[in-house]
Amino acid sequence: MNIGFIGLGIMGLPMAGHLQAAGHQLAVVQHRTPIASELLDGGAVVCASARAAAERSDVIILMVPNTPDVEQVLFGPDGVAEGIGAGKVVIDMSSIDPIATREFAARIRALGADYIDAPVSGGEVGARNAALTIMCGGEAATFERVLPLLQAMGKNITLVGGVGDGQVAKVANQIIVALNIEAVSEALVFAAKAGADPARVREALLGGFASSRILEVHAERMLKRTFDPGFRIALHQKDLDLALSSARKLGMSLPNTAVAQQLFSACVARGGAGWDHSAMVRAIETLADTELGG
């Protein structure tokens, strides 16, 4: 297929690379991040605008940071909407507001095109290994049409429901991830404060019911102090903002999500907006006056 790809950051770049390696022709647009030479060497065509990329593409994929970015790329001057038409598909793989997603989809469908929201989980490692979890919302026929593209970038690919339901699943995912990071942080700092070796405690827990991907991957980051992203705290805070604002609209409480957000904010106060989200442990360490390995 001819694919327009907008958003070539930490995750978007390897995702686009997998599509190119699968034989698809890319039309790329710079959005904050310069276009990598490897895509150009592979034959990617650089377009001056999202409109130009949409005009020459069957499918337009977005992988940008936030709801306003998606709106700007789709509907701003020289945006995707000006180059879209019947038979084309927009796949938004960004993590954004579910309600806004449904509004964006309605506007794109009014122009004759189809729309899939397909946010991802798995971070930079998942993107590089084409092992992302992809949570989709949209029509079943559209999903089946673009499934080969999604399979080039991920492994666990699910059509959750209608448009916006993929974003709902991603928000739920980010709640779980944040609370798992918080739990692992508390457990390891508790172990260190109590005089045990937190690395050995982690090894013991990996074999039991407390085992998780967070304990496997992020606890190792905590112990080795490797807090380069990864997935930046600022981006996880954006996702938890979506969770908390949606909860208010639904008239429900997410108490532990709010606590996790405050712990991230404590990290940001120390200059950690760009740290990997596993660095939440630093906030717990401060409260305990104990550093892992310290």
- Rounded to whole angstroms, how far apart are CA atoms 34 and 76? 20
Q: What is the pLDDT of residue 272?
A: 97
- Rounded to whole angstroms, how far apart are CA atoms 176 and 243? 11
CA angle 48, 163, 33 (to 5 degrees): 30
- Rounded to whole angstroms, how far apart are CA atoms 45 and 268? 38
| Catalytic-labelled residue, pool 88, 155, 170, 224 | 170
Q: What is the pLDDT of residue 37?
A: 86
Q: What is the pLDDT of residue 125?
A: 87
**What DSSP letter does each residue of 97-151 carry, written as one string?**
-HHHHHHHHHHHHTTT-EEEE--EESHHHHHHTT-EEEEEES-HHHHHHHHHHHH
Q: What is the pLDDT of residue 123?
A: 84
Q: What is the pLDDT of residue 294?
A: 58
Average pLDDT, consecutive stretches of 10 residues, N- to C-terminus, the chain (294 residues): 93 95 93 80 93 97 94 97 96 94 97 97 91 97 97 97 96 96 98 97 96 95 92 93 93 97 98 97 97 80
- Rounded to whole angstroms, how far apart are CA atoms 96 and 88? 22
Report whether 70 contacts 44 (CB < 8 A).
Answer: no
Q: What is the pLDDT of residue 34?
A: 75
Q: What is the pTM of this model?
A: 0.89
170 is catalytic: yes
